[in-house]
């Protein structure tokens, strides 16, 4: 089974900051990596798929990169609505999937 | 508008059964792989099961294999999760999610329901 490890597990930042979240796969998953945002009491929302493709309607301050085992989600300038928990998901094993453990982004 | 609405959650005793439903609308349900994803209280997301558009292929996370059955009724645009032999560790919010992938083409979950809470406790 593929293991997905996110770092950090939690992060404090301020509005306007540039933030990077990392996701590492236990084996080479090429670019089969997706990112989701989840706010308290809400369902997850797709942000980025296939490592770097922005889902329709998602602000351009979100970007993704990486291939192989190392991936990053970057928020270029944090907005108040961006404080949430972020999850990566590998799709190399489609139709089986594994999520990372999540990164909670909090206001400093 | 794409909509997924789960129902059927509730309180059940250990060893009991529960049937979850997900009603889909706003898209051609029969063309998509569908998934169940769960989230235990205060924990992260865990993929549970997926099912092929025709319903013939089904896949499960190891912890539920042999206890849960995913099925679908394309005539009713409905996804089902039959959960048997429930355990305390199955307590979670259960989400249905639409998959943009194919059998050997990696996908992503672009539409989610609001979730239904399953609590397994005596």
pLDDT, one tens digit per residue, over A44-94 is: 999 999 999 999 999 999 999 999 999 999 999 999 999 999 999 999 998
User: Is pLDDT of A102 > 80?
Assistant: yes
Beta strands A45-49 and A53-54 are antiparallel
Mutation site, B109, B111, B117, interface A, largest A CB count within 10 A:
B109
User: Considering only CB atoms, which chain B residues are within 8 Å of A67?
Assistant: none
pLDDT of residue B56: 87
3-state secondary structure of B90: helix
Residues 14-73 on B with a CB inside 8 Å of A are 33, 35, 37, 44-47, 50, 52, 57, 59, 61
Euclidean distance between CA atoms B36 and B33, whole angstroms: 11
pLDDT of residue A69: 98
- Sheet strands side by side (includes B78-83): B3-7, B18-25, B78-83, B68-73
* Closest residue of chain A to B5, computed from CA coordinates: A43
Q: What parts of chain B have a pLDDT lower than 70?
A: none
B32 class by beta-carbon count within 10 Å (0-12 exposed, 13-18 middle, 19+ buried): buried
- The model's confidence at residue A17, banded by pLDDT at 50, 70 and 90, is very high
The mean pLDDT value of chain A amounts to: 97
């Amino acid at each position: 089974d593929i293991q997905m490890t996110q770092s950090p597990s939690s992060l404090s930042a301020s509005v306007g900051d540039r933030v990077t979240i990392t996701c590492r796969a236990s084996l080479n998953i090429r670019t089969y990596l997706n990112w989701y945002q989840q706010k308290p009491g809400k369902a997850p929302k797709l942000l980025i798929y296939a490592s770097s493709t922005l889902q329709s309607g998602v602000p351009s301050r979100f970007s993704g990169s990486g291939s192989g085992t190392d991936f990053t989600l970057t928020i270029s300038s944090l907005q108040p609505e961006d404080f949430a928990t972020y999850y990566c998901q590998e799709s190399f094993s489609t139709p089986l999937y594994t999520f990372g453990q999540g990164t909670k982004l909090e206001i400093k | 508008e794409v909509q997924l609405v789960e129902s059927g959650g509730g309180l059940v005793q250990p060893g009991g059964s529960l049937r979850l439903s997900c009603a889909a609308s706003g898209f051609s349900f029969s063309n998509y792989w569908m998934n169940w994803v769960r989230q235990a209280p205060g924990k992260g997301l865990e993929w549970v099961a997926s099912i092929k558009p025709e319903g013939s292929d089904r896949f499960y996370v190891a912890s539920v294999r042999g206890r849960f059955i995913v099925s679908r009724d394309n005539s009713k645009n409905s996804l089902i999760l039959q959960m048997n032999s429930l355990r305390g560790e199955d307590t979670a919010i259960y989400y249905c999610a639409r998959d943009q992938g194919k059998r050997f083409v990696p996908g992503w979950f672009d539409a989610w329901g609001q979730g239904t809470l399953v609590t397994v406790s005596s």
